[in-house]
Structure 1
Amino acid sequence: MKDRKIRVAAAQFSVGTDVEANLATTLRMLDQAAEVAPDLVVLPEFCNHLSWYDNQEHCAAVSVPLDGPFLKAVAAKARALSIYVVINCTVLRKGGSVTGSSLLYSPQGELLADNTKQIYIGHENDFLTPAQAPAPVVETPLGRLGLYSCMDGVINEPPRTLALRGAQILCNSLNSFASDEGSLHVPVRAPENRVFIVAANKVGPLVPEPLLEPVSQATGIPEKFLHGAGESQIVAPDGTVLACASCDQEQVVYADIDVAQADSKLRADGTDVFASRRPDLYRPICENPQQQSYPAWRAADTLQAALLTPGAGGPDGLRESAALLSDALGQGALLAALPPLLSSQEIAEDLDAALLFAREVVSTLSACLGKNQCVATSLPQRSEDGRTQNCALLIGSDGVLLSQPQVHRSARCAWSASGSGFQSLALPFGRVAVLTSDDSIYPETFRLLALQGVDTVVVPLEPLERWELQTGLVERAAENRINLLAPVINSAGAAFGHGLAASLQRDFTVMTAWQERPFDGLLSQPELTRPAVGEHLTLVTLYPAAAQNKEVSRNTDLVRNRPWHLSGVIAELANGTVTEPA
């Protein structure tokens, strides 16, 4: 296995309502994929029939049993082509239930894995039975493979559990109209878990063609957004997209990968992002949402906020930041976000000087603020017991309102004593949290904040990798329905970008009436604002109250419908024991 490259492929195509015709298409696309000599081919979700049914009897009639002719033909094709094949179908089970399941066939035609979807979207809940057991990780000569499909990748838990259990290649079968699946939810799962992703989506109508016009008229969704969004892709563990298909054409894409790369979980500074996780804090993620409740939602409809991007750090940056802050407040901002004014290296080189500077920063910035105004940044602080901690701070007119120590250890902040959990603060305009840069890369961090009812998060960012700004933070905001401000330290801006603001879309739940925008193909991506080069003050409007609506489609809540009962490995310690609630 070591340093041996394999070729992986994703095939995207259209599926209709004729099961026999869909089988012919599936076999034809496998033959087409075989022309590039792959070791593994991943196919889309629901290859046997469109995910559209008249009733339960119809769903069962067009679904395929494991030992039926449809899947026997796929197994025979895998054997004839001597390739591994991942296909997703609605599977008719003994007893009459139907599941949406991904199936892995070996080059010998043997069924190696059978993984049922954990979280369905919208009408799928009316017909399909969800998974009752965690997804398997399968050891093969190619590497360790894990399977999931579509909505299971819009939230972090299903892919996360596969990666934590050793999967090196995650195979994602999609049936998605959403353009932000390909640009956001699919690729982020690779770098957050340091694994390879092979994702195959559909093109063509996702509802029966005779129904396209009436469904469009009834829902207000333009016909073009009732089609599969394509963009099947292969993503490397660092987030690099190695191959990507078009958004609307039948196509096979492929890439040669070194699977062993997925065994390294190291960031650029040497931090092992799996070893530095905090399972002792993640237990709420694995608890029944029916027994959990949010704090009372009292968020404002709108919040005027500002990203501040000073051209320097240190004392010069502080003077510029104070002027920028005063300007932003004068234009109506109640919440401002500043990047770190000292890098982690500068702090490590002289801790005492950094702590003195931190006191000056708090004093200077608080003097700029009036009632109900605040600014966030990150600075070193001394804890009550004398430990030095890297902290994200929320500062008001009377000083520090909220100090959030870094929770996950990192090599570049080895000087920082770890915090014991994540906090949030109820303000007149909403519930706010602040995070240090090195805590923001963990999907569990934002999930815990969502469970606290946080509607707005500020991350003063010192990025190490490009994916953090490209997909990472945006996806965190999207999958948890949280507004986000992420200003970037000056020294990193040229390499990674100058920060972003993510404002929640108020029109959200699919197939409900939208008031402010026409349906545009985005499933959950917030509205993004990225400061231009040289832009030092960026005003944005955030929507704290919009965070209360997390229902992406009927019966599919991004947080409450997470597969908590299948996510126990997230809260497991290294010895395999599960943490208990504090």
Structure 2
Amino acid sequence: MTTRRFRAAAVQTLARLGDFDHNIALATRYVEDAVRQGAELIVFPECMDTGYLFDSPEHARSLAETIAEGPFTTALSRLARLHHVYIASGITEWDPAKEKIFNTGILYDREGRVACHYHKQFLATHDQNWFAFGERGCPVVDTDLGRIGLLICFDGRIPEIFRAMTLQGAEVIVDMANFFAMDQADMWGPARAYENGVWLVAATKAGWERSIYYPGGSMIVDPKGRVHAKVPYDTHGLAIAEVDPDAAADKSIYAGNDKIADRRPDTYGLMAKPYAETPVCGIADVPLVPSRSVTKVAAVQMHVTCPGAAETATDADVIDMVDHTAKLGAKVLVLPEYAFAERAILTAAEAGRLADREAAILAPLDRIAGAYRCLIAVPTVTRAAAGLQVTTVLLGPDGEIGRYHKAHLTAEERVWAKPGDAYPVFDTPFGRIGVMSGYDAVFPETSRCLAIAAADVVLWPASLREPFERELLAVPRAEDNRVAVVLANRVDTAYPGGSLVVPPTGFPQWDINVAAPRVTKLGAVMPKHIDLAVCRQKQMIPKVDMFANRLVDTYAPIVAA
């Protein structure tokens, strides 16, 4: 049996602004070092040829090089041919035909030929001062190392770009970056690799360039989100690891699910609509009354348990905890998945019995919602004409607000449940509320559809089975979409507890286990005040809107059957 394993190297260094000779010498030294260590794919950071922080568009134009004749590109092509390796780098490109400057990624093959040519799509504020938005889509190329896709830095903050490449068969994603913050490397890189089941080779700079500090964070991540090699912060050097492209074929999660095969592209149509045609368009310009735009939300980590469990709880205990949480002022309360079932994974018979108790479960919670003028999200099982559905019922101050039927089912749920086919967002007195239930959150499309539909708060009743569902997905689901995420998890799962509320701007500390240490106690309540105005401001930084800046014309693979 043949193997396609190879060694990859991510270079962490610092280009000198406008000094081609210096930057070519750096690249030459690192290529030679990487080759000595057996690397066949060598990746350099963003704008490695010219530096990054120009004085003006004219300054950028004076330094920008063409692919065919630029000094740095010519040097990289020669190095790739000389050492018979693949070399990827970010460059500042002048396109004479379009008369535009692009923030470009280029991959040279073993003969020094251009194998892949990419333009950065998601431009930071300063990028927009001189670079044009990308016009080359999300290319993926076949090589003898495997199928490789390119992206650049901030592109990793748009889940659609990584996803579109994965759906074209990418096994290895190369990221040429100038990371400004540690979370871009330590969270978003592994998160994108984990949710797509692909390798990531990310190279970034370390040091100061004018007003910007680059901490570093060059790394190689496997398809399960595990970091195999990383250059320490504030140092220059190489991250080198063996890459097995065949590992990217394994998209499995849980006991019998698949992170790609279980997608529901027929339900993602909103993602491909032009920004002007989406509900989120202009949501930041809709006035809010400050005194009415703050909502207290709470993840209520409480559910019925099996007899003999270390901590026991009955229906009455769950209802009592909800009542107490509402009494203390929470206005949006979320329970874990199947909160009124004894187990996190239900058989068909157990699901049927839970559905038969719908009225008995909802009645006391409806009274609590009315008494305290709050909203309670009740994850349960309901009956429809077509059969059983995993349903989250939203009860409000004046009765039932609506229902969400889980769209992405686990292997166990598929035995007895019919999936939902929509991601409704409900207007409530406490903001615009959407729901993603359990396994739904593994798919970035779910939270993306809810956010495009202008959700302020996304409720996530869960029964987590893997640590990275919380550690790598919770914060990106909030920050990528500028929504608050309320995660309520069971304590009897493979990954128990850890319920929390993630604000739309995330936490000051990137490590969720530091920012919100995991609590595994049954009955714990995690409250937080959420400012709806912050949820509706969709700019990450000035001029960088998480929705207006999306290039939806490149997302066809996401909605294709």
TM value normalised by structure 1: 0.87
Aligned partner of 1:578 in structure 2 is: none
Q: 2-side partners of 1:319 and 1:242: how far apart?
A: 48
One of 551, 554, 558 as aligned partner of 1:566: 554
Indicate the residue corresponding to 2:321 in structure 1.
324
Give 2:461's aligned residue: 460
In the other structure, the counterpart of 1:259 is 245
Q: What is the Cα deviation at residue 530 of structure 1?
A: 4.5
What is the aligned partner in structure 2 of residue 556 from structure 1?
Answer: 544
- Deviations along 1:33-68, one digit per CA (max 9) or x if unpaired, are 223211212111110122222222210121222122
Corresponding residue of 1:533: 520
- SS of 2:461's partner is coil
- Which amino acid is 1:533 matched to? T
Change (3 A) 1:297 1:7: farther
Task: Give the conservation status (yes or no) of the 8 Å contact 2:481–2:504.
Answer: no
Check if 1:115 corresponds to 2:118.
Answer: yes
What residue number does 1:543 align with? 531
Q: Which amino acid aligns with 2:244?
A: D
More displaced stretch, 360-369 vs 434-443 = 360-369
Alignment correspondent of 1:390: 390
Q: 1:241 aligns with which of 227, 234, 258?
A: 227
Contact 1:233 1:244 in 2 (8 A): yes
Give identity over the alignment, percent: 25
Between the aligned partners of 1:379 and 1:206, the Cα distance in structure 2 is 54
Please state how far the C-alpha of 1:114 moved relative to its aligned partner. Answer: 0.7
Query: What residue number does 2:441 align with?
Result: 440
- Does the CA contact (< 8 Å) of 2:486 and 2:500 recur in 1? yes
Amino acid paired to 1:57: E
* Cα deviation 1:364-408 (Å, max 9, x = unaligned): 32233325312223211112x252101122233565422110112
2: CA distance, partners of 1:64 / 1:403: 55
Mark the CA change 1:80 to 1:375 in structure 2 (over 3 Å): closer, same or farther. same
**What is aligned with 1:86?**
88
CA–CA separation in structure 2 for the residues paired with 1:416 and 1:50: 55
Cα 1:176–1:444 shift into 2, 3 Å: same
Cα distance in structure 2, aligned partners of 1:501 and 1:236: 28
Q: Is the 8 A contact 2:382 2:388 kept in 1?
A: yes
Amino acid at match of 1:230: G
Q: What SS does the corresponding residue of 2:254 show, helix, strand or coil?
A: coil
Secondary structure of the residue aligned to 2:472 is helix
Structure 1 residue 144: Cα displacement: 0.3
SS at match of 2:487: strand
Matched ranges for 1:98-113 at <5 A = 98-113=101-116
Deviation digits for residues 435-471 of structure 1 (CA, Å, limit 9, x no counterpart): 2112111111111111111010111111232221111
Q: Do residues 421 (structure 1) and 418 (structure 2) align? A: no
**Shift in Å, 1:291:** 3.2
Question: Which letter maps to 2:45?
Answer: P
Higher RCO, 1 vs 2 (CA within 8 Å, ≥6 residues apart): 1
The one-letter code sitting in structure 2 at the alignment partner of 1:403 is: R
Per-residue CA deviation, residues 5-39 of structure 1 (Å, 9 max, x unaligned), is: 22222111112212321222222222232232112
Deviation at residue 73 of structure 1 after TM alignment: 1.0
Partner secondary structure for residue 91 of structure 2: strand
Q: Which piece of structure 1 moves more, 296-305 or 113-122?
A: 296-305
TM-superposed deviation, 1:476: 1.0
Q: Does 1:302 align with 2:294?
A: yes
Q: Indicate the SS of the match to 1:243.
A: strand
Moved more, 83-92 or 260-269: 260-269
Q: Per-residue deviation at 1:311?
A: 6.9
2:22 aligned partner: 21
Q: Is the 8 A contact 1:477 1:526 kept in 2?
A: no
Equivalent of residue 130 in structure 2, options 110, 127, 130: 127
Q: TM-score, normalised by structure 2?
A: 0.90
Whether the aligned pair in 2 keeps the contact of 1:266 and 1:273 (CA below 8 Å) is yes
Q: Per the alignment, in what secondary structure is the counterpart of residue 205 of structure 1?
A: strand
Q: Which runs of 4+ in 1 moved over 4 A?
A: 295-300, 524-528
One-letter code aligned to 1:205: W
Three-state SS of the structure 1 residue aligned to 2:228 is: strand
1:227 to 194, 213, 218: 213
Check whether the contact 1:503–1:528 (CA below 8 A) recurs between aligned residues.
no
| Structure 2 equivalent of residue 59 of structure 1 | 60
Q: Do the aligned partners of 1:177 and 1:521 also contact (CA within 8 Å) in 2?
A: no
Q: Is the 8 A contact 1:198 1:234 kept in 2?
A: yes
Q: Is the 8 A contact 1:337 1:485 kept in 2?
A: yes
Q: Is the contact between residue 478 and residue 505 of structure 2 (CA under 8 Å) also seen in structure 1?
A: no
CA distance in 2, matches of 1:284, 1:25: 45
CA distance in 2, matches of 1:304, 1:203: 40
Q: How does 1:483-498 map to 2 (within 5 A)?
A: 483-492=484-493, 495=495, 497-498=497-498
Q: Report the Cα offset of residue 562 of structure 1.
A: 0.8
Using the TM superposition, give the Cα deviation of residue 182 of structure 1 relative to its aligned residue in structure 2, in angstroms.
Answer: 1.2
Note if contact 2:193-2:225 (Cα within 8 Å) is conserved in structure 1: yes
The AA in structure 1 aligned to 2:215 is A
CA pair 310-543 structure 1, distance change in 2 beyond 3 A = same
Q: 1:521 to 1:14 in 2, by over 3 A?
A: farther
3-state SS, counterpart of residue 413 of structure 1: helix
Does structure 1 residue 339 correspond to structure 2 residue 342? no
Q: Distance in 1 between matches of 2:119 and 2:439?
A: 34
In the other structure, the counterpart of 2:309 is none
Residue 129 of structure 1 aligns with an amino acid whose one-letter code is A
* Inter-CA distance 56–537: structure 2 relative to 1 (3 Å threshold): closer
> Using the alignment, how far apart are the partners of 2:23 and 2:554 within structure 1?
32
Q: Quick one: distance in 1 between partners of 2:533 and 2:242? A: 45
Mapped to 1, the partners of 2:198 and 2:204 lie a distance apart of 19
Of 361-370 and 53-62, the range deviating more from structure 2: 361-370
Give 1:143's aligned residue: 146
1:440–1:459 contact (8 Å) kept in structure 2: yes
| Counterpart AA for 2:294 | T
Among 203, 206, 210, which residue is 1:203 paired with?
206
1:393–1:434 CA contact under 8 A, matched in 2: no
Which letter maps to 1:139?
D
1:528: Cα distance to partner? 5.2
Q: Deviations over 1:166-189 (max 9, x none)?
A: 100001111121222012221111
Number of the residue aligned with 2:406:
406
366 and 421 in structure 1: CA distance in 2 versus 1, 3 angstrom threshold: same
2:261 to 254, 257, 275: 275
Match of 2:180 among 162, 168, 177: 177
After superposition, the C-alpha distances for 1:324-349 in whole angstroms (9 at most, x for unaligned) are 22222222111112112234532434
Q: Contact (CA 8 Å) 1:302, 1:541: kept in 2 or not?
A: yes
CA distance in 2, matches of 1:411, 1:297: 44
1:52/1:425 CA distance change after superposition, 3 Å = same
Change (3 A) 1:35 1:109: same
| Distance in 1 between residues matched to 2:75 and 2:198, nearest whole Å | 31
Gaps of 5+ in 1: 213-225, 507-516, 574-582
